[in-house]
Amino acid sequence: MNNKLPIIAFISLGIIWGSNFIYMKWATELISPLQIVFLRVFLGFIPVLAYSLYKKSMSLNHFKYSLHFFVMSLLGTTVYYYFFVKASSTLLSGVMGALSGSIPLFAFLLAVLFIKEEKLNIRIFGILIGVIGVVLIAKPFNDNIFNSNIEGIFDVVFGSLILGSSFVYAKKFISPLKIHFSALTTYQLGFALLTLLLITDFNGIINIKNDTHTFLGMIIGLSLLGTGLAYILYYYIIEELGAVAASSVTYIPPVVALIIGYFFINENIDLVDCIGTILIFFGVFIVNNKREKMNKDKNLNKTENTKQIDNTISEKKKKEKMPMHILIYDIIRKTSI
């Protein structure tokens, strides 16, 4: 049974993240996007803090980097969450989930612009294929485009770019700090919570209680499970299966979102949406597959040059030796969901 726990956690994480989109959409009918972000961060912060305390990964010495944590809280949480929640109010939840799969494409584009070692090469085809998928979902050929999808598509794209910029920032300023990812996430959510306490208008926030189903979905589904528990599950998967395997969970939520939207709440999801989703998946696969191959080649060359191989390291230790910037990138990327 213990051997199956990582797989169970992997599948559960995909389902939990895939369900987040419908919870966001329901909540936008009762309270404002900023109030939703506040509740999600506040309730998601609690289990993440508890996990970090359990791991004893935090230190007072870390707070000398508070400015970096604050910037990451804006890019990787507050602003990005806000635009995704805002998009949920205008887009179908299934379509929203499908579009979220394009986040790695935007993150990679920004990495190419600002991080020297990232090159386009053949991955440009992955970007183009993914963009075509986004365009198909946007349905520019629809006469009602300016009354429906365009605002939501803009919000998703802008939110994705903001999230992508957080990856660039993390690579340049957070990775060198060598702080455990559970502590980094705690600081990120914590600073985001402080910011939201200052800028959120709480007038009418109790309206979330007007619909029991939406209330439970917001509090339990989106916040405690979809944010707090999801981070913990992700950490567990990283420790058991490695960061590369954990990153592949990103392919599950869009499919789950489409299934929930079409089969359970009767959203008008058509063939074009499905084709667009497949193209986004394929584009992300090309980008990620090439990156993983390049990282493997780089590590192999480094090993051959130094010839310092420790054969006593366990397989689990090897998984934990994933470059920190890749690990942080994967963690940031998942918060989209």
Give CA angle at 39 (269, 168), nearest 5°. 75
Burial class (CB in 10 A: 0-12, 13-18, 19+), 205: middle
CA distance 71 to 188: 9
CA distance 131 to 298: 28
Residue found by looking up tokens 């230790």 in the block: 317
String of b and e for 215-231 (b: at least 16 CB within 10 Å)? bebbbebbbbbbbbbbb
**Whether this model's pTM surpasses 0.85:** no
pLDDT digits (tens, 9 = 90+) for 137-146: 877 666 555 5
Query: Quick one: which H or E segment has residue 145?
Result: none
CA distance 112 to 90: 31
Give CA angle at 262 (256, 264), nearest 5°. 85
CA distance 27 to 40: 11
Predicted confidence pLDDT, tens digits, the chain (337 residues): 567 888 899 899 989 999 999 999 999 999 999 999 999 999 999 999 999 999 999 999 999 999 999 999 999 999 999 999 999 988 888 888 888 888 778 777 887 777 765 666 777 888 889 888 888 887 766 655 555 567 888 898 898 889 888 888 988 899 899 998 899 999 999 999 999 999 999 999 999 999 999 999 999 999 999 999 988 888 888 778 876 667 677 778 888 998 999 998 888 888 888 998 899 888 888 887 765 555 555 555 555 554 454 454 444 444 444 444 455 555 555 544 5
